Amino acid sequence: MKKKRLQARLVLEDGSEYIGWSFGKARSQAGEVVFTTGMTGYPQSLTDPSFRGQILVATYPLIGNYGVPLQPKTGKPYFDRFGIPVHFESDRIQVAGFVVAELCEEPSHFASTSTLSAWLEQNNVPGIYGIDTRALTERLREQGVMRGKILVEGCREVTFESGDIAHPVAEVSPREVQVYPPIISGTKRAPRIVLVDCGAKANILRCLIARNVELIRVPWNYDISQLEYDGIFLSNGPGDPKACGKTIATLRKALTDSKPIFGICLGNQLMALAAGADTYKLPYGHRGQNQPCTEVGTQRCYITSQNHGYAVREDTLPRGWESWFVNTNDGTVEGIKSTTGPFRAVQFHPEGCPGPRDTEFLIDEFLATVRHHAGLPEEPRRVLPAGETPVSMLRHEEDSKEGVA
């Protein structure tokens, strides 16, 4: 029997209201309302820790058309042999709610085992469809991001403040240190990389592991000075970077050393704050897989994946630091680099999943710098175990078929 449709409303802080229909979990929920311009990749966006606690608006009109790839019997994500989600960016949905114009209830894809609505319901996340997302996006662009709440017919009322999260990074960062050994053992020592995980997307782990490093994944507030390492990788994450005071203090010490550091997204902002620069909240942020960025000096433009609501103030960069990339649309800083040490960061996602992969070479350049400073021999840009292919190495298809959980 088909369930009765429930009316739902999206109400914003400025008093505007959008009426549609409920899907997913029938419950009311509040959160900061943001939009993403990506035309695909909703499973990755919904599980991206950088969206923690936010109500996400998809500007692409049709969502849910290719369903969700879950284990048929358990309805849980597939995990690879390293315990990393195969198809998602974390092991759960991170958004507080999902807003779409048109919901596809009959998906068509060979890997799909669930509808989008059923997946949201399983994760206790409400959705609303049937509203004019173009008008909503225009309002968010003009007014800036603001609190909102999804109110479902017959469900308990919520306040705007109920969706606030004091420290979202602390919610999505791992609690303990995890070590991933090199995928190929041999006489040569692999680079030892510390990943400061402030809410790292799973594809960061996949990209680093595929390049045969020894990866040490640590919580956001971990004191890395007690570790032996060759380089530091700063992850993405949700919220205001200034809330990560312990991470900034740790980085400030690390910047006095000569070991290479590379940051992405939140990591770019943390690097800037540790260097002495300032950050600020953007009116509506940059989110999607189609954001153009220009490399300073070369005028080469790359299409990038982004998800951030804060940026670095260029005029506060101290001596010895400069802009590396800028947003081609609005001129905001999209990357910084030191002129005196091996320290670089970008605001976008070189490891972007489902793409684009135009800037993934930056990860290779970082690891080449690490090997050079550590006196390690150079290796191919991507290392594959015997019998693996690039696709199976990065997506671990064999593990997904086995349904390793």
Which residues are catalytically annotated?
265, 349, 351
Residue 309: phi, psi to the nearest 5?
Answer: -115, 0
Separation between Cα atoms, residue 117 and residue 323, nearest integer Å: 42
Tokens standing for residue 105: 């209830």
The DSSP call for residue 65 is T
Contact 382, 395 (CB under 8 A): no
Tokens of 343: 């320290």
> Which residues 6+ apart lie within 8 Å of 395 measured at CB?
86, 206
Question: How does DSSP classify residue 2?
Answer: P
What is the Cα Rg of the chain in Å? 21
> Under the phi-then-psi rule, with left for phi > 0, alpha for psi from -120 to 50, and beta for the rest, what region is 253?
alpha
| Of residues 396, 252, 238, 261, the one with CA closest to residue 341 | 261
Burial 95-113 (b: 16+ CB within 10 A, else e): bbbbbbbebbeeeeeeebb
